[in-house]
Amino acid sequence: MNNFGRVNPMAIPHDSNETSYLLPSNSEDWEGHGIPDFVYGQKDLVLQGIQWPRIAPSLPDGLPLSRFDSALCSAWRQRMELGLFRYRLGELQTQTLPGAVGFVAQLNVERGVQRRRPQNIRSVKQAFDPKQFNFNKIRPGEVLFRLRREPDLPGALPQEDVLVMINVSPLEWGHMLLVPEPSRGLPQRLLPSALRAGVEAVLLSSHPGFRIGFNSLGGLASVNHLHLHGYYLSHRLPVEGAPSEALDPEGHLHLLQGLPAPGFLYYASRPGPDLEALIGRVCRATDYLSDHEIAHNLFVTRGTPPGKTSPSSALMGVRVILWARKSSFGIKEGEAFNVALCELAGHLPVKTSQDFSSLTEAAALALIQDCLLPPAEAGEVQAALVALTAQEQQ
């Protein structure tokens, strides 16, 4: 398969006037290497023409890259060449599981073995602990660049500086972290400014398979320091076009229908007031979940408008999907995969060759559904989020 990013992102020409996002390859001490800024404005957001190629799941070599994709992929690849990751990510063995869902399973043995052990977390509302590992303790070379918004982009709140860092245990090509103002020591609780940065990162990419996600504490976040994940996956996922049912008269909140798991769907077609309203709704929902000690996962992807329409190859806006789930602290070693943001969306990073070769759709669904809230509690959460949406409209 022609995985995007392995096509040779280093061959992409760069504007000679742009800041370089690469480290000096012969430097042993990067402390003096300042963090470059990736400054973006309205003109950098890719709002139209995003769709999957006719022949799926591979992406053509000629797929155009945005300025953001070029900066991210070239800097990320350089860090891989410099050995800053825990393992060298090769092309991952990938399969689409037979069945109605369309799970995309990938064998990633190294991540299962070599990723950092999760912190000792016992509460969705746990405070930040500076003595534990956090993103102020990483090596300087792990930072790729800083995201900076231009004033022409809407946003009621001042946008914090967001650092883009490599995930040293990558699950796929370009796996990075968005970390807002790490020096502030923010706990892993979603903030509007962080979500806006995540949604805008998706809009900065011209790749249909660039996604952003968030795991709460208890939702398999392994570090209690505010961060979002981002990565490329050259495959469509079920949640991009899955049908949904409106839960409020204005259509601001939908319930995703079908599999792999029911989730709350929010949608915006472009930046502006609708997107700002979406960010507020989502963060009010995650605040409610956090305050009530309910773990959750969130996934941001390009997708089709909500409703009962059939899936389309054209990805006309941004879907934000929120799942409330049972709390799970730590990693369950005996399972084929652990259920967090990408698994709920239909992407299954599998830990062992045996599990990869034997995994079925039914087995995957059983693992996912075992992590969901019982029906009565799920109903209570749905009623609460509907009420929050109604309050907004009063």
**The three-state (H, E, C) secondary structure of the chain, written as one string:** CCCCCCCCHHHCCCCCCCCCCCCCCCCCCCCCCCCCEEEECHHHCCCCCCECCCCCCCCCCCCCCCHHHHHHHHHHHHHHHCCCCCCCCCCCCEEECCCCCCCEEEECHHHHHHCCCCCCCCCCCCCCCCCCCCCCCCCHHHEEEEEEECCCCCCCCCCCCEEEEECCCCCCCCCEEEEECHHHCCCCCCCHHHHHHHHHHHHHCCCCCEEEEEECCCECCCCCCCCEEEEECCCCCHHHCCCEEECCCCCCCEEECCCCCCCEEEEECCCCHHHHHHHHHHHHHHHHHHHCCCEEEEEEEEECCCCCCCCCCECCEEEEEEEEECCECCCCCCCCCCCCHHHHHCEEEECCHHHHHHCCHHHHHHHHHCCECCHHHHHHHHHHHHHHHHHHHC
- Whether 300 and 213 have beta carbons less than 8 Å apart is answered as yes
Distance CA 221, CA 260 (A): 20
Tell me the angle at which helices 67-81 and 192-204 cross, rounded to the nearest 10 degrees.
100
Active site residues: 227
- Whether 209 and 283 have beta carbons less than 8 Å apart is answered as no
Closest C-alpha to 367, from 351, 381, 383, 380: 351
Torsions phi, psi for 221 (to 5 deg): -65, 130
How many residues does this entry show for the chain?
Answer: 394
